[in-house]
């Protein structure tokens, strides 16, 4: 199989490591196979691909869609990011818990985040190109979010020796306790 699926401490999250074939000319790997993912229990259909470029210290998130949640397969195409998923599934035993993975273009690892999670990331490298597949379309009117430093969630964001850069919209996201759902 061209992938290793590693279950994370929160049910439904998987770190995925593809088999990379490399030689003096470069490398090749499959970054997604519907057949292999379904064989690992990740029976998901993706409908949209997104990509962003971020400078070091850029923090994006924590974002989610309220009534049309998206599953996501995320990876760093270039550079490195600290990627975070927060469980916001109302009936989950890990509601409000978070898990982070450093995604790197050197390791080519990915994170599968099922529907029902808030998501965000911090660019650790000088530049990070971040790509993600989504299981539903983006609906601006359905967008929700949680402020990145909400103390009730307590994400341990890494110290990168500089202040984080956030959009004005992300700076104004509400706390978890403000009834975001």
CATH for 125? 2.60.120.10
Q: What distance in Å separates the CA atoms of residue 57 and residue 150, rounded to the nearest whole number?
A: 18
Q: What distance in Å separates the CA atoms of residue 57 and residue 80, rounded to the nearest whole number?
A: 11
12 within some domain: no
Q: How confident is the model at residue 8 (pLDDT cuts 50, 70, 90)?
A: very high
Reading the block at residue 20, the tokens are 């990379």
Residue 132 annotated as catalytic: yes
Q: Is the pTM of this model over 0.75?
A: yes
Sheet holding 72-78, edge to edge: 3-7, 14-18, 110-113, 72-78, 127-134, 48-55
Cis peptide before 27 (omega within 30 of 0): no
37 within some domain: no
Give the structural domain span for 49: 45-175
15 within some domain: no
25 within some domain: no
Percentage with pLDDT > 90 across the chain: 96
- pLDDT tens string 100-122: 999 999 999 999 999 999 999 99
- pLDDT tens string 34-61: 999 999 999 999 999 999 999 999 999 9
113 within some domain: yes
Reading the block at residue 165, the tokens are 């850069």
Count structural domains, the chain: 1
Residue 99 annotated as catalytic: no
Using alpha carbons only, how large is the chain's radius of gyration in Å? 16
Look-up: residue for tokens 């035993």? 93
* Closest by Cα among 117, 111, 148 to 133: 111
Judged against a pLDDT cut of 90, whether residue 178 lies above it is answered with no
Give the mean pLDDT of 23-33.
94
DSSP assignment, residue 170? H
125 within some domain: yes
DSSP assignment, residue 116? S
pLDDT at 157: 98
Identified catalytic residue from 32, 45, 132, 139: 132
DSSP assignment, residue 172? T
Reading the block at residue 132, the tokens are 């993600």
Judged against a pLDDT cut of 80, whether residue 179 lies above it is answered with no
Identified catalytic residue from 63, 99, 112, 119: 63
11 within some domain: no
Contact 81, 130 (CB under 8 A): yes
114 within some domain: yes
Average pLDDT of the chain, as a whole number: 96
pLDDT at 181: 53
- Which residues, listed in sequence order, are joined to residue 84 by a DSSP beta bridge? 100, 120
pLDDT at 103: 98
pLDDT at 91: 95
Look-up: residue for tokens 């439904």? 12
């Amino acid at each position: 199989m061209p992938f290793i699926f590693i279950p994370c401490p929160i049910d439904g999250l998987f770190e995925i490591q593809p088999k990379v074939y490399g030689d003096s000319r470069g490398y090749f790997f499959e970054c997604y196979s519907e057949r292999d993912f379904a064989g690992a229990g990740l029976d998901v259909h993706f409908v949209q691909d997104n990509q962003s470029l971020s400078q070091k210290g850029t923090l994006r998130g924590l974002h989610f869609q309220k009534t049309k949640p998206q599953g996501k397969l995320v990876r760093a195409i270039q550079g490195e990011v600290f990627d975070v998923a927060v469980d916001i599934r109302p009936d989950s035993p890990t509601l409000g818990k978070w898990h982070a993975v450093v995604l790197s273009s050197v390791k080519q690892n990915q994170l599968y985040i099922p529907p029902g999670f808030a998501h965000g990331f911090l660019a650790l490298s000088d530049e990070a190109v971040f790509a993600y597949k989504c299981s539903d379309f983006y609906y601006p009117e359905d967008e929700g979010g949680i402020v990145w430093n909400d103390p009730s969630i307590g994400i341990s964001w890494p110290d990168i020796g500089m202040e984080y850069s956030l959009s004005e919209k992300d700076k104004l996201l509400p706390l978890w306790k403000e009834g975001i759902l």
